[in-house]
């Protein structure tokens, strides 16, 4: 299911030795930090819920007295919340009359329009004023059930405790926060998506396969149809979406394949007869424009909302990206994916199913473009199955709006190709209006 690339350190002993020393030092520091942090978090979790109901509960207790108001807490990123959607959808299906409120982060709140049964609560921000407003708001809502969608962090503990909810649920137990929760579903799978898929089953709601569960709004779906129609894809050409990786901080740069390799991959994919659409948010638009200058046949879509991106993705033949929120969004709408990543991401975040592939290495910069190209060609050669929609099936009756025609850069432009673009993206960039990371 995945292809692992060997590291090139053997050809450069100095690079290999330096990288090995850095990994050893990071590992040692992480071990020391964990040894100090785990008991401190456990003590904080117990103190935060000391005066609350801490009697152990089971799902049958909720069946006897169904919750009317449910609080969901997830304060990280878009992909994390998308992987939690099987449990969110199960809560809605099990108790359809309950009002479900999400307290999320400024980044993952973009998922809310794809879950129309959710009510958006206040944002969780790491500043005293925002926390004070949230802490004052929570008790007034009188929630019956609080669900922390990430067990290992204190944000879920503190928000659930501030709500004074009698039943506090998590999918899996964690030694860091165990004292704070009194209903544990016992789903200890290390893969994040499977964990919440299994949690849905513990609630008595079974979904056919582990995959994010969303509902694309009709308006966003129409917008996606218009954009794909405006691309004027040649008959029979596969339509492949390629996400420009985020390089704005060290965390994302370490998991991104190099800019030059990405250019080579797009060039080879176009030469192979595919129609390539580049997706970029915020500052990634700069790199997308640079790639298009080198490969003028590639298309670049304008900045999209998450819902509009889903409307486009469900009409693609394939999606290629690093492990980010849009990768899980493509999985949710049934589009096959190729995840380009470092090794650990395969175990915890890879989309599940025969229509997905992973190309990984210890260092994403060691991944060669031809390794990704081979996997893409293999997937495109397979017959479509399930929700896999070939590009010729794009609705032809949707008119192209004037606004779309004026804002979508479609026509290829000829430009003198630079020999390398990697230097343009080596330094950190200031992120602006990033909606999908």
Q: How confident is the model at residue 225 (pLDDT cuts 50, 70, 90)?
A: very high
Q: Which of 303-317, 330-344, 383-397 has the lowest mean pLDDT?
A: 383-397
Is residue 288 within 8 A of residue 399, CB to CB? The reply is: no
Which residues, including other chains, have CB under 8 Å from residue 58's CB and lie 6 or more apart? 183
Q: How far apart, in whole angstroms, are the C-alpha atoms of residue 143 and residue 163?
A: 7
Q: Which tokens go with 370?
A: 């031809």
- Look at residue 255 and tell me whether its pLDDT is greater than 50: yes
Domains of the chain: 45-202 (3.40.50.2000), 218-425 (3.40.50.2000)
Q: How far apart, in whole angstroms, are the C-alpha atoms of residue 137 and residue 130?
A: 11
pTM: 0.83
pLDDT of residue 28: 74
Average pLDDT taken over every residue of the chain: 84
pLDDT of residue 3: 54
pLDDT of residue 14: 55
The pLDDT tens digits for 99-133 are 999 999 998 989 999 999 999 999 998 888 899 99
């Amino acid at each position: 299911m995945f292809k692992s690339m060997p590291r090139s350190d053997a050809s450069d002993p100095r690079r290999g030795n330096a990288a090995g020393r850095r990994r050893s030092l990071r590992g040692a520091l992480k071990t020391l930090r964990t040894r100090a942090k785990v008991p401190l978090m456990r003590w904080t979790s117990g103190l935060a819920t000391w005066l609350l109901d801490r009697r152990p509960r089971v799902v049958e207790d909720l069946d006897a007295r169904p919750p009317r108001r449910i609080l969901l807490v997830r304060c990280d990123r878009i992909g994390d919340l998308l992987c939690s959607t099987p449990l969110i959808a199960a809560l809605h299906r099990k108790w359809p009359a309950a009002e479900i409120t999400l307290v999320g982060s400024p980044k993952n709140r973009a998922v809310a329009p794809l879950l129309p049964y959710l009510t958006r609560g206040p944002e969780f921000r790491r500043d005293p004023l925002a926390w004070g407003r949230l802490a004052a708001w929570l008790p007034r809502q009188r929630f019956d059930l609080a669900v922390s969608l990430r067990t290992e962090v204190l944000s879920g503990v503190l928000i659930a405790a501030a709500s004074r909810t009698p039943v506090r649920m998590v999918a899996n137990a964690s030694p860091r926060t165990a004292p704070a929760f009194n209903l544990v579903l016992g789903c200890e799978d290390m893969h994040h998506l499977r964990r919440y898929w299994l949690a849905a089953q513990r609630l008595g709601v079974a979904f056919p396969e582990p995959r994010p569960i969303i509902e694309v709004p009709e308006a966003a779906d129409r917008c996606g149809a218009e954009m794909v129609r405006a691309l004027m894809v040649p008959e029979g050409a596969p339509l492949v979406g390629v996400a420009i990786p985020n390089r704005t901080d060290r965390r994302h740069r370490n998991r991104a394949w190099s800019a030059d390799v990405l250019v080579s991959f797009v060039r080879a994919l176009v030469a192979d007869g595919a129609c390539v659409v580049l997706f970029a948010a915020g500052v990634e638009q700069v790199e997308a424009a640079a790639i298009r200058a080198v490969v003028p046949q590639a298309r670049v879509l304008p900045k999209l909302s998450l819902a509009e991106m889903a409307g486009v993705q469900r009409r693609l033949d394939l999606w290629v990206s690093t492990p980010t929120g849009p990768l899980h969004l493509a999985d949710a709408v049934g589009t096959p994916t190729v995840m380009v990543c470092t090794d650990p991401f395969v175990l915890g975040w890879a989309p599940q199913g025969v229509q997905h592939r992973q190309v990984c290495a210890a260092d994403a910069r060691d991944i060669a473009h031809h390794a990704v190209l081979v996997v893409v060609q293999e997937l495109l050669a397979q017959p479509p199955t399930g929700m896999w929609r070939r590009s010729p099936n794009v609705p032809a009756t949707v008119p192209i709006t004037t606004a779309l025609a004026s804002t979508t850069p479609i026509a290829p432009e000829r430009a003198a190709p630079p020999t390398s673009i990697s230097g343009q993206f080596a330094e950190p960039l200031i992120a602006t209006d990033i909606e999908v990371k």
